[in-house]
Structure 1
Amino acid sequence: MRRFRRIKIKGYKGLLDGLLVSTGRTWTLLRDNPYDYLLDGFVFVRRKFLLREVESEAVTFKREIFDLKGEFPDNYLDLNLDADRDLFTHFQKKGALISVARHVEHSILVGWVEEVYERSFRLRLVDRRGIILGTRSLSYDVVRSVGFGNDYLKSLMLMMRSPKYLRVLDGQEGSVEVNK
């Protein structure tokens, strides 16, 4: 059974809640619990930025609720969480949007993985309205977490694929950070 966890990430004031799915040498995978008893997508957290698990009465209560709700199906148990390149190759093959969090807690980069290298990857950036921007190369070492398959990202993908809002690359190079 997936167990509820509340974790502290280095440099962030807030805490991250989720159901533990799997752990590797490099990454820990959680079903994201953004608030209350809602699960929304997945979050991959780089283990070197995990400071500790936080326990409290609230955590115990949430754990009991998720235990009562039972198992939650997921298809990510076979992912290699030991290697950056394997994980980002998976994102590249999926072609879906991801959100990348670095050192600033409430600021993310949103886009899809275009290229995967030994020590870095290239992200094609998208703003909060689904407008495709330039690219940004990022070292794996600066990534604290990666969001995948949540409602925000799925909604952006739907809008971008809609004939009414079909977005095309406008030649603009650069990047924008989407503040949550």
Structure 2
Amino acid sequence: MREFINRVVSITLRNKTYFQGVLINLSDDWCYLKYIPVDYIVDGFVLINRRYIANIEMTDDDIFTENILKLKGIISEKNVKLDINNNVNLLLDLRSKIEIIKIELKDHHKAYIGKINIIREHSVKIHLFSPNATWLELETFLYKEIRAIYFDDDYINSLKLILPSII
């Protein structure tokens, strides 16, 4: 799989959900991508929990997309360096470097957006906020139940502009 680093790949999850992105790094627990939600548009980053991944491959479509992204200068851009070899270190990195994240659990139709509050050995506590950018409650998530973590995408960055600071 290391041969796919800095290449466009397709990832199929066990529930047949599909991701495409530029593979930044890979560990036993996480797959770190520059996220391509549609066509040749890169929108932020995603960390996918490896326990949910069924397959990682490079298709002809991925090669075509990669060529376009190289022409756009996106493949060679610097990425946020994260320690993905350990859940605690990963969340510490995300808390210090990213601030606001979106978490997707087993059900990909529901996502939680918030600020990392407390990091434990097997879980993380997130201070959630609503789609209207109002702060909600703290909620705990087990690492093993987190399917994907998104950050630095247009939706999150837009909400950050109007999000009131925490007192």
Say if 1:123 and 1:137, in contact at 8 Å, map to a contact too: yes
Structure 1: segments with no counterpart, 5+ residues: 161-165, 170-180
Residue matched to 1:88 = 91
Does the 8 A contact of 2:127 with 2:138 survive in 1?
A: yes
Q: Deviations 1:78-113 (Å, cap 9, x if unpaired)?
A: x21110000111122236210001111221111010
Output one character per residue of 1:26-84: Cα deviation in whole Å (capped at 9) or x when no partner: 1111001111111111101111211102554433322332243343322334x211100
Between the aligned partners of 1:21 and 1:145, the Cα distance in structure 2 is 15
Give the aligned partner of residue 19 of structure 1: 22
Whether 1:102 and 2:102 are equivalent positions in the alignment is: no
Gaps (5+ residues) in structure 2?
none
Matches within 5 A, 1:1-180: 2-11=6-15, 13-54=16-57, 56-70=59-73, 71-77=75-81, 79-94=82-97, 96-160=99-163, 166=164
Task: Report which of the two structures shows the higher radius of gyration computed on alpha carbons.
Answer: 1
| Partners of 2:127 and 2:136 within 8 A in 1 | yes
Alpha carbons 2:104, 2:146 under 8 Å: kept? yes
Structure 1 residue ranges (4+ consecutive) displaced by more than 6 angstroms after TM superposition? none
Change (3 A) 1:86 1:168: closer
Q: Distance in 1 between matches of 2:58 and 2:28?
A: 23
Query: How many residue pairs get matched?
Result: 162
Taking a change above 3 Å as real, the CA distance of residues 73 and 56 of structure 1, as seen in their structure-2 partners, is: closer
* Matches of 2:123 and 2:17, distance apart in 1: 27
Identity of aligned residues (%): 24
Partner amino acid for 1:96? E
Contact 2:88 2:121 in 1 (8 A): yes
TM-score, structure 1 as length reference: 0.81
Between the aligned partners of 1:29 and 1:95, the Cα distance in structure 2 is 14
Q: Does the 8 Å contact 1:37/1:62 carry over to 2?
A: yes
Q: Match of 2:9, SS?
A: strand
TM-score by length of 2: 0.87
Tell me the distance in 1 between the aligned counterparts of 2:160 and 2:33: 22
Deviations 1:118-142 (A, max 9, x none): 1101011111110110011011110
Pair 1:64–1:109, CA change in 2 (3 A)? same
Letter in 1 for 2:6: R
Give the Cα–Cα distance (whole angstroms) in 1 for the partners of residues 147 and 47 of structure 2: 8
